[in-house]
Structure 1
Amino acid sequence: MDQKKFKAEVKWKVQRVKNLWHFVRAVWAVARNGYPARKLTVIGVTGTDGKTTTCTLIYEILKAAGYKTGLISTVSAKIGDEEIDTGFHTTNPDATLMQKIIARMVKEGVTHLVLEVTAHGLDQYRVMGCNFYIGVLTNITHEHLDDFIDMTRYQNTKLKLFKRVKYAVLNQDDPSYKMINVKTIPYGKTKIRNIAEVLAGDYNKYNIGAAEAVVGILKVNKRLSDQVIKSFGGVPGRREEVKAGQKFRVIVDFAHTPNALEQVLKQLKKELPENKKLIAVFGATGERDKTKRPMMGEAASRLADVVIITSDDTRMESQDEIAEQIMSGINKRYSDKVIKINDRREAIRRAFKMAKAGDIVLIAGKGHEKTILIGKQDRPWSDAGVAREEIDKLRPIM
């Protein structure tokens, strides 16, 4: 076994020990709050990509159908129409905070909870006590191999969600479809036409298909669910279009995995007018899965006309090293379309200065997030907000 793999295995085993503490904390949190999830119909949505959009669609449809519905996702927690600023940087907070939020939902009369569930949330018992009535698996693609070592362990962790579900809603076009041996409700791309613009793309057709399957199990009127899907307002940082009077399009998207980046670029390429350019601005998070970086560079350089590699949450890792690893996946024939600008604001500014009328600029990776972590300092940040500021600065020459 080489040294790199040895260190990874040691990290994995250390986390197994840490998880004993997470387990104890979770048991205590669930009991202390009176087993709140037992009083709810809990819908858990896991997968690598598409979780937040799928959760939000289900939440909006159930709310429109008259159910008092709660939502806990990467973006926020909601009770009915009230949005709770949880302040957590991860999708699933630790079990202590999770159980407090669920207990509050029960107290306020919530009957259905839509819960976005990550591999880390399952591995570290953050969702213990959430007896899932319906489990949804969107897809399983390359992600988090810094923690899970290989795809088999990552897949097995995701599949923990389905141990006791009554219904498993699975994407029949994803390889993970054959991995689960429970009562299965298969889904594929939605057949609805004229869906909301924010839901364009094949990847969103699968998200809609999953939501349709879930609300179908709950006997929601099909016409009602179709209406919600057609008028869906979107999710912050998910194919979010910034419109500030500029002549080119600006899309902010959370795409931070190879698959997500490829899918959003493919869709935007379809929408690109003839003889116009697609400009991609993105980076990769520091101290996280390094194996995905070359894959993201390969996808971006193949699909975009201009690639600007910049910072994301670098943490304590060198941005130059992160950028080099992204660029290592780029075929030499595409190297002339790649620019490296470490400062994210400057990278966005450069993209806008290059963009002409009809071009599309994709700013990927941060999405809805309100901070950027450079070194040990979490600084206020918004891709959409910075985009508007930089467009305003260009206004005299646009």
Structure 2
Amino acid sequence: MRILKDILYKTGIDEIQGSTNVAVQSIVFDSRKVKKDCLFVAVRGTQVDGHQFIPQAISSGARAVICEEAPKCDLGTTTLVIVKDSAQALGQVAANYYNDPSTELKLVGVTGTNGKTTTATLMYELCMALDKKAGLLSTVRNKIGKEEIPATHTTPDPVTINKLLRQMVDAGCKYAFMEVSSHGLHQGRVDGIQFAGGVFTNITHDHLDYHKTFDDYILAKKKLFDMLPASAFALVNVDDRHGNTMLHHTKARKLGFGLRKPTDYKGRIMEQQLNGTLLRINDKEFWTKLIGDFNAYNITAVYAVARELGFDELHTLTALSTLGAVEGRFQYVRSPKGLIAIVDYAHTPDALKNVLETIENLRTGNETVYCVVGCGGDRDKSKRPEMAHIATSMADKAILTSDNPRTEDPETILRDMETGVEPQNYGKRLTITDRKEAIRTACSLANAGDIILVAGKGHEKYQDVNGTKHPFDDIAELNNAFTELQK
């Protein structure tokens, strides 16, 4: 319970109707969750405007309402706070309500199209390996020390973020690492949060169904660096042409990492095998279990963050060499008959290209590479042909299949993908709508030593069809296919 006047700091108040010397029991922004004596924040969403539900919130017992324009209804005893931006206000009151937990942690935010989950997760795992208690907010899972909490969004809502950060502080965590999505930045989910550092991994074609233009997508990512204080560090991938864009106008200390250009933290792959990589960062060499150029970038970023947080160099390198792949990120399994299957979350053209390039660099030349890939429904349609083009041009055999169709017809999605297949690659393509059958087909076609990439879903344990999440696990389906084909 908090007194309303104590949590309105920095919310951009235009007008107040009623008393602010009232107690609120919780903060909600979904009118269906309003309870007696709560604070309801009316936010304008992409699908629904919370202002439409202010009368319902009042009748359900809301003690106070934050909004951008006054409702045309009787307020009764409910206090009304009118602000300039209710999404920004939600983030700020959530931080205030939980006593600014981000200021009691070394919180590092990671943004970019690809690599967010791996980078943030490895940072968390590194801390835990060094006996530095930490928290994690990621696409795959949220962690408070060793306690795991299911994740529902890449970047949770402001109330959930601050509640989890407060739990981290109360549990004794000193560090926290957080994926920060472009949606979360644009919608103000991290407003009111204080970061000790920000990391930019890269930016490629994605989420244009939401942001509409690539420039808007870039600006959304840049917001993380615009909000960093002078006491923080801003670490960007200098090999990405948009890395320097992120640093424009930031108050934070500017730092770079990469594999190609001279920079503060320069990585270089010395040797690479299917079981790991010999990596040099600046003048130090160490072995990592992770594979591929994209993971070399991720590991270099993690090392840079560790050093900027003041971690001992030798201890950091030793711990990094023990860390394995993040679930669903270049995660591979071997079949009894000698097939190698790799499951990866690659759901953007650039990510798929990177994974297939890594496989190409690791193969001896005699293996056949199969790629099972689909595209999600109700998302950026322009990347569908490009994904199919990359799969059919880079793999020896591509099987186009369903991903998470959501409310779209899977056959329509596949037809969109097929437009990207060039005539010379028609013979390399199969289209199998059923993802389970597509995986089984790849396994039945492959011989010992061949490589099967199953891309797009990674860690996900479901398939979203018409609003229902049906159990589905690429790793489990691969193992089932291996078992069936061994009989």
Normalised TM-score (structure 1): 0.92
**CA-to-partner distance for each residue in 1:363-396, whole Å, 9 max, x for gaps?**
0011001111012211111111111111111112
Change (3 A) 1:194 1:350: farther
Q: Secondary structure at the match of 2:173?
A: coil
Shift of 1:63: 2.4
* Number of the residue aligned with 1:346: 437
Q: State the number of aligned residues.
A: 381
Partners of 1:49 and 1:18 in 2: CA distance? 31
What percent of counterpart residues are identical?
37
Partner of 2:75: none
Structure 1 residues 372, 17: closer, same or farther in 2, change over 3 A?
Answer: closer
CA apart distance, 1:21 = 4.8
Structure 2 vs 1, CA of residues 281 and 194 (structure 1 numbering), >3 Å: closer, same or farther? farther
1: CA distance, partners of 2:426 / 2:286: 39
What is aligned with 1:32? 97
Q: What residue number does 2:113 align with?
A: 48
Aligned to 1:152: 215
380-389 vs 183-192, which deviates more?
183-192
| TM superposition shift of 1:153 | 0.2
* Other-structure match for 1:330: 421
Give structure 1 stretches of 5+ with no counterpart.
1-12
For structure 2, which runs of at least 5 residues remain unmatched after alignment? 1-43, 51-84, 260-266, 269-278, 280-284
CA-CA distance at 1:196 after TM superposition: 2.9
Q: What SS does the corresponding residue of 2:332 show, helix, strand or coil?
A: strand
Q: Given the alignment of the two structures, is residue 271 of structure 1 paired with residue 362 of structure 2, yes or no?
A: yes
Amino acid at match of 1:350: T
Q: Which has the higher contact order (CA 8 A, sep 6+)?
A: 1
How far apart are 1:178 and its partner, in Å?
Answer: 1.9
Q: Distance in 2 between matches of 1:330 and 1:141?
A: 21
Q: Please say if residues 64 and 228 of structure 1, whose CA atoms lie closer than 8 Å, have aligned partners that are also in contact.
A: yes
CA displacement at 1:275 relative to structure 2: 2.2
Q: CA offset at residue 17 of structure 1?
A: 8.9
Q: Which moved more, 1:351-360 or 1:205-214?
A: 205-214
Residue of 140, 145, 158 corresponding to 1:75: 140
- Corresponding residue for 2:288? 196
Alignment-derived partner of residue 256 in structure 2: 186
For 1:368, the equivalent position in structure 2 comes to 459
Q: Identify the match of residue 176 of structure 2 among 113, 118, 121.
A: 113
Q: Which residue of 1 aligns with 2:34?
A: none
Residue number in structure 2 paired with 1:3? none
**Do the aligned partners of 1:42 and 1:130 also contact (CA within 8 Å) in 2?**
no
CA displacement 1:149-176 (0-9 Å, x = unmatched) = 1110000000000113221101111111
1:388 and 2:479 are equivalent in the alignment: yes
Question: What amino acid is aligned across from residue 287 of structure 2 in structure 1?
Answer: I
Report the Cα distance in structure 2 between the residues aligned to 1:368 and 1:36, rounded to whole angstroms. Answer: 29
Q: TM-score w.r.t. structure 2 length?
A: 0.75
Q: Highest CA radius of gyration, 1 or 2?
A: 2
Q: CA deviation at 1:177?
A: 1.9
Residue number in structure 2 paired with 1:299: 390
Mapped contact 2:203–2:242 kept (Cα < 8 A): yes
Of Structure 1 and Structure 2, which has the larger fraction of its residues in strand?
Answer: 2
Matches of 1:79 and 1:157, distance apart in 2: 28
Deviates more, 1:313-322 or 1:59-68: 59-68
Which structure: greater helix fraction?
A: 1
Distance in 2 of aligned mates of 1:225 and 1:92: 27
Partner of 1:7: none
Counterpart in 1 of 2:163?
Answer: 100
Q: 2:351 aligns with which of 241, 244, 260?
A: 260
Shift, 1:34, TM fit: 1.9
Residue 278 of structure 1 deviates from its aligned partner by 0.5
Cα pair distance change 1:154/1:354, threshold 3 Å? same
Aligned alpha-carbon RMSD (Å): 1.8
